[in-house]
Structure formats: C-alpha cells, structure tokens
C-alpha cells in the first residue's frame, strides 16, 4: 500500500544566500590580493634560509654557556624569571578585580559590569606597547618586561578567575551566612577553597603563555632571550640563531609538559 520507493526530497537550500556569501568572500580576497605588492624576494633569500637551516642542524654549541657575558642559558633564565615574576604579580593583582567583576560577589550589576569592562580593556591593549611604555618609565631591561607581563596578564587571568568565582556552589556561603559569618569569613572559608584549584590551574596556563611572551619582549629591549636573537640576526650569525631557536623550543616544550602535568594533578 505504502509507497516505499518514493524518492527523498532534497532539503531546499537558500541558494541566494550561499551565493551572496561566496561573492562577498571573493570580493574580500580580490581586495586583499590586489593591495599586496608583488613580493620582491631578495636574491640572498635562498642562501640565508639555507644558512639558518644549517644553523639549526649544526648549532653553535659553545654558545650554550660562556663563562663571561651573555649566553644562551642566561638568556633563557632571564626569560623564565620574567615569566615567573610577571605571572605572580598578575595573579596577585587580579584577585580583587575578579571579585569585583564576579556578578555573585559584588553588589549591583553596574559594579560587576565596570569590573568586566576594565578587564577587557586591559586585555585588548597589546602587551608589546605596554612594554614600550614601561621601558620609558624604568629603562630598558628585564624589569620593564616583568611589569608589562604583570599588567597585561591581569586582563585574561581576571576574566578566567571571574568565571571561576561565578560558577561556585552557593551552598557553603549560604550556610556560613546563616551562622552569622561576616563577608571576609565567607570569602575565606566558603569561596576561596572552592576556587583555589581553578585559580592555580589558570595561573599555570597563563604562565605557559607568558613564557612565550617573555621570549618576544626582548625584541623591543625588555630583556630575555629575544634580545639575544635580535643581536644574532642583525650580526648574521646564523649558527647562533639556530641554537637560540633550539633553546626556545626546548624550554617552551619543557615548561608546557611540566605545567600540563601539574595542572592535571591539581584539577
């Protein structure tokens, strides 16, 4: 009885909309490509890239440790120190911000919205520019990098911390309120134990990012391994570039592994 061989009707697609998307995309790409000048590659490009590659595969091992002055290990140590201190400062400073921005902690929507706005403002401000400003204040060197990372990381850490605080179980806080605890006691005994593992995990995650950022900061003179890389590049010492790149890769990979292991244990 039933017509089992009835052909399936294909779902109708909105053809015009799809074409509109395609045409918009095509226009965007035509604009993008037409504005690009034809790449005029230097004749030395192949030579230089070959030199860098051979530099990576036959690094300047002597550079790892020099008894006097700037070598790879000291550069990496400097980078790590900038990342550690910057992360610590921001983790410390962003706690009040995140309690202010969390909608279940601060009274009134306007207060928490203000906190969130401040955090997103800090987040969108490029950290390199922040570092340039700190260099103007405290002079070039690692300290400027520490301050830039410490201030910039507040933006992202504050946002993550805020979300962590907003997702706590209200039960313990209510129980404490019922027994007559004051606000500080509630935060200390009900909120902090719940959010602390999350805070630590996010701080470690930000530390991973900061290790990468700290290796960039040297490009503009804010200390760390970046300065050495720029020196090696400008003096065309490709073997040195190779060992510095290798050093950065090993350090970042190691930090990622270590931090990932600790984070798995915490949560």
Where does this chain bind another protein (CB under 8 A)?
28-29, 31-33, 35-37, 39-42, 45, 48-49, 52, 77-78, 80-82, 84-85, 88, 124-126, 128-129, 132-134, 136-139, 141-143, 145-147, 212-213, 215-216, 219-220, 223, 226, 229-230, 233-234, 236, 241, 245, 248-249, 252-253, 256
Q: Rounded distance, CA 224 to CA 251, Å?
A: 13
Return the SS3 of 68. coil
Shortest reach from residue 254's CB to another protein, in Å: 10
Q: Check residue 8 and report its DSSP letter.
A: P
Shortest reach from residue 235's CB to another protein, in Å: 10
Closer CB to another protein, 111 or 200, in the complex? 200
Closer CB to another protein, 2 or 34, in the complex? 34
Closer CB to another protein, 133 or 182, in the complex? 133
Shortest reach from residue 87's CB to another protein, in Å: 10
Closer CB to another protein, 149 or 176, in the complex? 149
Buried b (16+ CB within 10 A) or exposed e, 153-173: bbbbbbbbbbebbeebeeeeb
Return the SS3 of 126. coil
Within 13 Å and on the Cβ side, how many CA atoms surround 95?
A: 15
* Rg from Cα positions in the chain: 26
């Amino acid at each position: 009885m039933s017509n089992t061989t009835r052909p399936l009707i294909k779902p109708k697609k909105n053809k015009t909309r799809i074409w509109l998307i395609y045409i918009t995309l095509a226009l965007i790409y035509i604009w993008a490509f037409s504005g690009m000048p034809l790449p005029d590659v230097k004749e030395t490009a192949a030579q230089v890239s070959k030199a860098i590659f051979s530099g990576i595969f036959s690094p300047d091992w002597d550079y790892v440790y020099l008894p006097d002055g700037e070598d790879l290990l000291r550069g990496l140590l400097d980078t790590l120190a900038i990342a550690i201190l910057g992360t610590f400062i921001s983790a410390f400073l962003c706690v009040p911000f995140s309690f202010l921005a969390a909608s279940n902690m601060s009274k009134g929507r306007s207060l928490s919205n203000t906190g969130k706005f401040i955090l997103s403002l800090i987040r969108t401000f490029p950290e390199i520019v922040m570092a340039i400003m700190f260099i103007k204040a405290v002079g070039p060197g690692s300290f400027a990098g520490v301050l830039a990372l410490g201030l910039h990381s507040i933006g992202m850490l504050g946002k993550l911390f805020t979300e962590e605080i907003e997702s706590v179980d209200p039960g313990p806080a209510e129980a404490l309120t019922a027994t007559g605890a004051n606000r500080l006691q509630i935060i200390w005994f009900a909120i902090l134990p719940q959010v602390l593992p999350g805070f630590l995990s996010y701080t470690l995650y930000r530390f991973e990012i900061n290790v990468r950022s700290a290796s960039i900061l040297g490009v503009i003179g804010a200390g760390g391994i970046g300065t050495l890389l720029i020196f090696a590049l400008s003096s065309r010492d490709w073997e040195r570039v190779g060992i510095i790149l290798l050093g950065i890769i090993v350090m970042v990979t190691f930090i990622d592994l270590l931090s990932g292991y600790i984070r798995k244990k915490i949560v």
